[in-house]
Amino acid sequence: MKAVAPGKLILSGEHAVVYGKPAIAMAIDRSAVFELTPQAGDKISFDLPGGEGSGSHTLMALNDLKRRVDKKYNEFLHGKIGIRDVLTMPADLFRFAFVHTLDGLHRHIDTGVCLKLRSTIPVGCGMGSSAATVLSEIRALGHYLRVDFKPDWYYEYSLEAEKLQHGKPSGVDSYISLHGGCASFQQGVANPMSLPRMKMYMVQTGIPETTTGESVMAVEKNFKTSEIWSEFEAVTNTFEEAIRANDEQKVRWLVRENNRLLVAIGVVPQRVQRLIADIEASGGSAKICGAGAVTGDKGGVVLVFSSTPLTELCAKYGYTVSPVRGDPLGTRMV
């Protein structure tokens, strides 16, 4: 059983979506694939990239893990620990998702299985890697258990796992990865729209020192009641109109405005700010596409709207650049 789920990029409204404001996100042509294979015995095995976190576990051990993780998440909610301390290692996310989905579907598994993950989505860079990997995993598991596919179920199971990584996720990552395409997303409600038809590029500036959850919490501390979220909202609403009208000039202007607001809330590292300023000077526009970072000089992925890839400019900073396109499909069996 093999399932694939796309990553995502936020075109406008990151951080603001946490405060009930709209965000526009699209699924992209980078994806996670989980392959589930039956195996002898009763162990649940995980084959993960690089081998870190790979291994075999009994169902009892996985249930014990789930209880420990649930307890730690409750401690996080009460301010006793940070979100980074909820999971002992990244691979625990997949172990939790497996047993949580099994419980949610009210199914038992009678044989051993091996779950193999392969992904082209950079981890920890604002591209929805955790949502995509979890969705591909639980979609493959549901198909193996011969459960009728109900998108709402998988959305909820994915969101439960996302909480362990991001603290209080908006749900946009899980929604876009599940359904594909492009959508405006606000307070858990999505309004589908057409994918942008403009040239877009993705610059990798490195994995941020702070996690998404940590950046979100730092912004909340300083800007929770700020009026800046209304500015984000105005930019995002106009952005939606520009995408629907295929108005590339307006889109580029709005990307610059969105970048200005992200700089104001302190999530765009200085080095990344200099790159974006150079891109703007060359006629393009750019912005980070995730939580960004509140410390260090790495900001994850930067989305660029430009008629050319600006390869030489990015190379000056030691960054790689590649074209990116929208994915009209969502999580599916392959």
**pLDDT of the residue at 45:** 95
- Determine the Cα–Cα distance for residues 67 and 74; give it in Å rounded to an integer: 11
Residues of the chain with pLDDT > 90, as a percent, come to: 73
pLDDT band at 53 (very low <50, low <70, confident <90, very high): confident
Condensed to tens digits (0 to 9), the pLDDT of residues 219-270 reads: 999 999 999 999 999 999 999 999 989 999 999 999 999 999 999 999 999 9
Q: How many helices (H) and strands (E) does the chain have?
A: 10, 12
**Full set of structural domains in the chain with CATH:** 2-192+328-333 (3.30.230.10), 194-323 (3.30.70.890)
Instruction: Report residue 172 as tokens.
Output: 């946009």
Mean pLDDT throughout 16-25? 91
Condensed to tens digits (0 to 9), the pLDDT of residues 209-220 reads: 888 778 888 999
Whole-angstrom CA distances from 175 to 75, 89, 191 are 27, 25, 11
**pLDDT of the residue at 90:** 85
Q: Is the per-residue pLDDT at 275 higher than 80? A: yes
Condensed to tens digits (0 to 9), the pLDDT of residues 134-160 reads: 999 999 999 999 998 888 899 999 999
From edge to edge, which strands make up the β-sheet containing 285-288? 285-288, 301-305, 200-204, 320-323
- Determine the Cα–Cα distance for residues 114 and 171; give it in Å rounded to an integer: 28
**pLDDT of the residue at 29:** 94
Q: Is the per-residue pLDDT at 205 higher than 80? A: yes
**pLDDT of the residue at 18:** 85
For residue 228, the number of C-alpha atoms closer than 13 Å in the C-beta half-sphere is 22
**pLDDT of the residue at 82:** 86
- Determine the Cα–Cα distance for residues 233 and 227; give it in Å rounded to an integer: 10
**pLDDT of the residue at 101:** 94
- Determine the Cα–Cα distance for residues 203 and 321; give it in Å rounded to an integer: 4
Whole-angstrom CA distances from 120 to 129, 204, 324 are 9, 13, 12
Mean pLDDT throughout 303-328? 93
Condensed to tens digits (0 to 9), the pLDDT of residues 284-312 reads: 999 998 889 999 999 999 999 999 889 99
**pLDDT of the residue at 309:** 86
Question: Which of these, 37, 100, 33, 11, lies nearest to 331 by C-alpha position?
Answer: 33
